[in-house]
A and B are shown apart, each in its own frame.
Chain A
Amino acid sequence: MKPKWLKLAFLFAVAFAAVALVACGGDDEEEPGATATTPSEQATAAETATETVKQYDEGASDTEIKIGGCYPYSGPAAAYGTIGKSVEAYFKMVNEQGGVNGRQINFITRDDQYSPDKAVQCARELVEQEKVLFMFNTLGTPSNSAIWDYLNQKGIPHLFVSTGATKWGEDPESHPWTMGWQPPYQTESIVYSEWLLQNKPDAKIAVLYQNDDYGKDHLEGLKKGLGDKYDELVVAEATYATSDASVNPQVAQLKESGADTFFIFATPKFATQALIAAAQIGWKPLIFLNSVSQSIPAVIEPVIEQAGPEAVSNMYSTLYIKDPGDPQWADDPAIKEYLEFMEKYYPDGNPLDGFNIYGYAVAQTLVEGVLKPAGDNLTRANIMEKARSIKDLRVDVLLPGILINTGPDDYYPIEAEQLAKFDPAQKKWVLEGEVIDVSGKLQQ
């Protein structure tokens, strides 16, 4: 019986040691900077010191700036993952050219599979373990919704998120650390309505929208854009759910209303269905196709195949970035530079993929608009302060005439877009008219 007692004693000793270890390990993991203050409060404190003095928060030093990002490299939305790689390639180029004010950018990304719970894991790992200075360009509305409370309470800048939802800039007071970048859905709708009010003020409008936040965001923009005339002009609305098999009944119902203008706020699959359905029932309205579904191979080519080129002959969408495949920009220095960049720093990527030029543009905005002006004062408060005070920044792969502006109450960097009409003969979007700037209209 003796060995049994020995074993038991040994077990107790081990267990005791373990508990002691846990207890000791507990004290050294205090989170610095966990108190949440608004960036402006911190900024005023920082401004009292002169900007020439080097100031750093976690993640910044004399030699390095650590930035974090979460992208869906795997899973159902893996096609977006290339944005992360293009951003990374841009930083690589910046680093080879000497970095930002002598500091190298260290861009750490994680795969979040486009799943909110993984995004939370990603953000927490980057903030708490990798100790990044700030989070940049995290992709997806659900993913960003999952982490923005966390980042705002911790006071970590959450810059230029890669989603079109309007909510990122809607309420800078409750979420002062989060900022979008691309024109939000509402801005796009306002651009359409501005154009419509000028060019076809007596339109009879039918709207098809997805019955969730994305579709309702678009509709809200249309309401803001048309203002008082909304009730007069919009004669029919129809919704669909992503679980619907087809939108044919909705399109038929919209046609019955006698509308001559058709807004499609739908994701590619349903936009394709709607365009085909309209052509098949002999409805030939003026069509506004939201930019989410403007992809030519994914949406428009299938429509032409099944319903002929007439189905897309009177159709508009919006653009804000130059299309690198468009011959009109063949001699454009910005596009040339972009194509050289792709060849040298991201040779595996497809330079004609709109996601890659998107990544290039957003990374350039960060470097030129935020990091360079921040100088040696690389505190989180100052990063946010600089992001909030971008004045007329020109990112040269954006369409001519689009300038980036932000302010203490303006958390929407890009608020201008240009209409483009689809040309079935050349199979491309042709820019139409001027850039329509709708700055400030969102806050109404």
Chain B
Amino acid sequence: MDTVRRIDWRRNWFIFALILGAILLPVSGPIDRGVLRLLRPISIFALFFGIVGVLTLLGAIYLGPIAERSRRNLRLLQAFGALLIFIAFLVAPAYADNIPYVTTYKLTVALQWVMVVVGINLLTGYTGQISLGQGAYFAIGGYLLAIASFREWSLPWGVSLILAPIFTGILGFLFGFPALRFKGPYLALATLALAVVISPVAKRFEDFTGGVQGIPMYGQINTWGIFGDDYERFLYYFSLVAAAAMLLIVWNIMHSRLGRALIAIRDNEVAAAAMGVNTALYKTTAFGIAAAFAGFAGAINAATIQFVSPDQYSVLVSIRVFVGAVIGGVASVLGAVVGGLFTQLIPDIAAGISDAAPDAIQAVILVVFMYAMRGGFAGFVEQTWRYGRQGVQLLRPERAAEEREGRAAAPVTSSQEQA
């Protein structure tokens, strides 16, 4: 028993999750009775995280030394990882429909969530400003496209697509000014108000928005001849390229003067101001960029759904996206990708597990995620990587601290910034 007690569960849980999942999965197949039905999804989740954890460990052990040799190697490795993910998305239409709960169409929407989430990452993860109102900009973007191109002025929809982020960006920038007065939870509430108010406003100005009936645009959107008339494929690749571009933009911002200023604001606003950082300007800029991303995503989303109505822009959108950002890992580019996928797929998966109480299942998934992975998915990957670099210890070794000190001479730079 003493050995069991000495196992370092906190850091090794994924290894046991892997073993548990591998044992449970074949056993749980034929069971179809009551609560036991949940065994199968649980084992699949356990297996998934086990595999992710172990792969990260292997990566840390075999690729870590290469990455640590020079800064250029590290960058190359990161670029390679990003490219792998990009390629996985690039070829996704060929295989996506064979994965349960996934279709190309859903991936298209997921990519649009990625765009919103990366905005939240910039705003919350890097600048420390909590915003629960991104759904509002998302809605404004969608309505702008629908109204400007299909209801009032029949602008080409490509023009609306460019107008949407400009308009929401300015709006976000302006909203940033009153938001300067708020901090932490108060700011969260102020932004939440924005998300709450958008749907009633859309219902109120019926002449413009079409009220509850919304604005249908089915079959009215052309693809400029790209991919022939395959609207689906066109939108998927359009979203993919746009999302990749936004991730790249945020990545570059974070490694620029602006990014360093934002991080300084997050870590200590007073100190940042004392160092000469114009905190007000930088904070409103972050609000503006995040809003522009959300507005663009909303516009392209409206073109994908080909329908806008107040009911699809409830306050839940903002909250779900924020949850996605936190689950993915709030200050990381990888986290944004995972967060977008999570936002899109988890409700369906929860309903697939049990259509009696999908909300409850979703809540349980959320709690388990937050308990097992405090820094979100990206944080988990990063911690595991560092753990691998320090040398995997199954048991709690008394001399772990000394060993770590020994390694501290060569500090580990990892692929993701930690929140």
Choose among B83, B214, B218 the residue that contacts A142 (Cβ–Cβ < 8 A): B214
Chain B residue with Cβ nearest A8: B76
- Alpha-carbon separation in the docked complex, A124 to B312 (Å): 17
- Alpha-carbon separation in the docked complex, A311 to B358 (Å): 39
Asked if A145 and B94 make an inter-chain contact with CB atoms under 8 angstroms apart, the answer reads no
The answer to the question of B203 belonging to the interface, with a C-beta cut-off of 8 Å to chain A, is: yes
Q: Tally B residues with Cβ within 8 Å of A.
A: 46
The answer to the question of B11 belonging to the interface, with a C-beta cut-off of 8 Å to chain A, is: no
- Alpha-carbon separation in the docked complex, A4 to B301 (Å): 40
Asked if A26 and B230 make an inter-chain contact with CB atoms under 8 angstroms apart, the answer reads yes
Contacts known (A7-B80, A142-B309, A146-B309); A22 close to B350, Cβ less than 8 A: no
The answer to the question of A241 belonging to the interface, with a C-beta cut-off of 8 Å to chain B, is: yes
Asked if A14 and B307 make an inter-chain contact with CB atoms under 8 angstroms apart, the answer reads no
The answer to the question of A173 belonging to the interface, with a C-beta cut-off of 8 Å to chain B, is: no
The answer to the question of A213 belonging to the interface, with a C-beta cut-off of 8 Å to chain B, is: yes
Which residue, A14, A74, A214, has most C-beta atoms of chain B within 10 A?
A74
Asked if B93 and A113 make an inter-chain contact with CB atoms under 8 angstroms apart, the answer reads no
- Alpha-carbon separation in the docked complex, A120 to B358 (Å): 19
Interface hits, B103-127 → A, CB 8 Å: 103, 105-106, 109
The answer to the question of A150 belonging to the interface, with a C-beta cut-off of 8 Å to chain B, is: yes
Chain A residue with Cβ nearest B310: A142
Asked if A73 and B355 make an inter-chain contact with CB atoms under 8 angstroms apart, the answer reads yes
Q: Which residues of B contact A118 (CB under 8 A)?
A: 312, 347
Choose among B94, B233, B359 the residue that contacts A75 (Cβ–Cβ < 8 A): B359
A379 → B minimal CB distance (Å): 23
B389 → A minimal CB distance (Å): 21
Task: Provide the A298-334 mask, 1 if CB < 8 A to any CB of B, else 0.
Answer: 0000000000000000000000000000000000000
- Alpha-carbon separation in the docked complex, A210 to B305 (Å): 28
Asked if B358 and A73 make an inter-chain contact with CB atoms under 8 angstroms apart, the answer reads yes
Contacts known (A76-B314, A145-B307); A25 close to B91, Cβ less than 8 A: yes
Choose among A78, A116, A153, A212 the residue that contacts B219 (Cβ–Cβ < 8 A): A153
Q: Which residues of A contact B312 (CB under 8 A)?
A: 115-118, 142, 146
Asked if B311 and A142 make an inter-chain contact with CB atoms under 8 angstroms apart, the answer reads yes
Asked if A120 and B305 make an inter-chain contact with CB atoms under 8 angstroms apart, the answer reads yes
Q: Which residues of A contact B206 (CB under 8 A)?
A: 212
Choose among A7, A14, A241 the residue that contacts B87 (Cβ–Cβ < 8 A): A14
Asked if B358 and A111 make an inter-chain contact with CB atoms under 8 angstroms apart, the answer reads yes
Choose among B103, B306, B358, B362 the residue that contacts A129 (Cβ–Cβ < 8 A): B103
Asked if B214 and A116 make an inter-chain contact with CB atoms under 8 angstroms apart, the answer reads yes
- Alpha-carbon separation in the docked complex, A145 to B312 (Å): 12
- Alpha-carbon separation in the docked complex, A112 to B377 (Å): 26
The answer to the question of B397 belonging to the interface, with a C-beta cut-off of 8 Å to chain A, is: no
- Alpha-carbon separation in the docked complex, A348 to B355 (Å): 12
The answer to the question of A281 belonging to the interface, with a C-beta cut-off of 8 Å to chain B, is: no
Asked if B351 and A149 make an inter-chain contact with CB atoms under 8 angstroms apart, the answer reads no
A198 → B minimal CB distance (Å): 34
Asked if B351 and A11 make an inter-chain contact with CB atoms under 8 angstroms apart, the answer reads no
Task: Provide the B247-274 mask, 1 if CB < 8 A to any CB of A, else 0.
Answer: 0000000000000000000000000000
B interface secondary structure, majority = helix
A interface secondary structure, majority = helix
Chain B residue with Cβ nearest A11: B83
The answer to the question of B316 belonging to the interface, with a C-beta cut-off of 8 Å to chain A, is: yes
- Alpha-carbon separation in the docked complex, A75 to B357 (Å): 10
Asked if B76 and A145 make an inter-chain contact with CB atoms under 8 angstroms apart, the answer reads no
Contacts known (A25-B94, A116-B307, A121-B106); A242 close to B203, Cβ less than 8 A: yes
Q: Which residues of A contact B404 (CB under 8 A)?
A: none
Q: Which residues of A contact B83 (CB under 8 A)?
A: 11, 14-15
Asked if B212 and A213 make an inter-chain contact with CB atoms under 8 angstroms apart, the answer reads yes
Chain A residue with Cβ nearest B101: A125
Which residue, A14, A25, A146, A243, has most C-beta atoms of chain B within 10 A?
A146
The answer to the question of A18 belonging to the interface, with a C-beta cut-off of 8 Å to chain B, is: yes
The answer to the question of B216 belonging to the interface, with a C-beta cut-off of 8 Å to chain A, is: yes
Choose among B93, B211, B218 the residue that contacts A213 (Cβ–Cβ < 8 A): B211
Q: Which residues of A contact B362 (CB under 8 A)?
A: 74
- Alpha-carbon separation in the docked complex, A150 to B218 (Å): 7
Task: Provide the A59-84 mask, 1 if CB < 8 A to any CB of B, else 0.
Answer: 00000000000000111101001001
- Alpha-carbon separation in the docked complex, A135 to B316 (Å): 27
The answer to the question of A128 belonging to the interface, with a C-beta cut-off of 8 Å to chain B, is: yes
Choose among B87, B93, B204, B216 the residue that contacts A145 (Cβ–Cβ < 8 A): B216
Task: Provide the A71-108 mask, 1 if CB < 8 A to any CB of B, else 0.
Answer: 00111101001001100000000000000000000000
Asked if A212 and B358 make an inter-chain contact with CB atoms under 8 angstroms apart, the answer reads no
Q: Can you give 10 contacting A-B residue pairs, CB < 8 Å?
A: A19-B90, A25-B94, A74-B358, A84-B355, A111-B351, A116-B311, A117-B301, A146-B216, A146-B312, A214-B212
Known contacts A15-B83, A74-B350, then 20 further A-B pairs from the complex at CB < 8 Å, ordered by chain A residue? A14-B87, A73-B351, A74-B351, A75-B316, A114-B311, A118-B347, A120-B305, A120-B306, A124-B103, A124-B105, A125-B105, A125-B106, A142-B212, A145-B216, A146-B214, A146-B305, A146-B307, A146-B309, A213-B213, A214-B212
Residues of B at the A interface (CB closer than 8 Å) are 76, 80, 83, 87, 90-91, 93-94, 97, 103, 105-106, 109, 200, 203-204, 206, 211-214, 216, 218-219, 227, 230, 233, 301, 305-307, 309, 311-312, 314, 316, 347-348, 350-351, 355-359, 362
Residues of A at the B interface (CB closer than 8 Å) are 4, 7, 11, 14-15, 18-19, 21-22, 24-26, 29, 73-76, 78, 81, 84-85, 109-111, 113-118, 120-121, 124-125, 128-129, 141-142, 145-146, 149-150, 153, 212-214, 241-243, 348
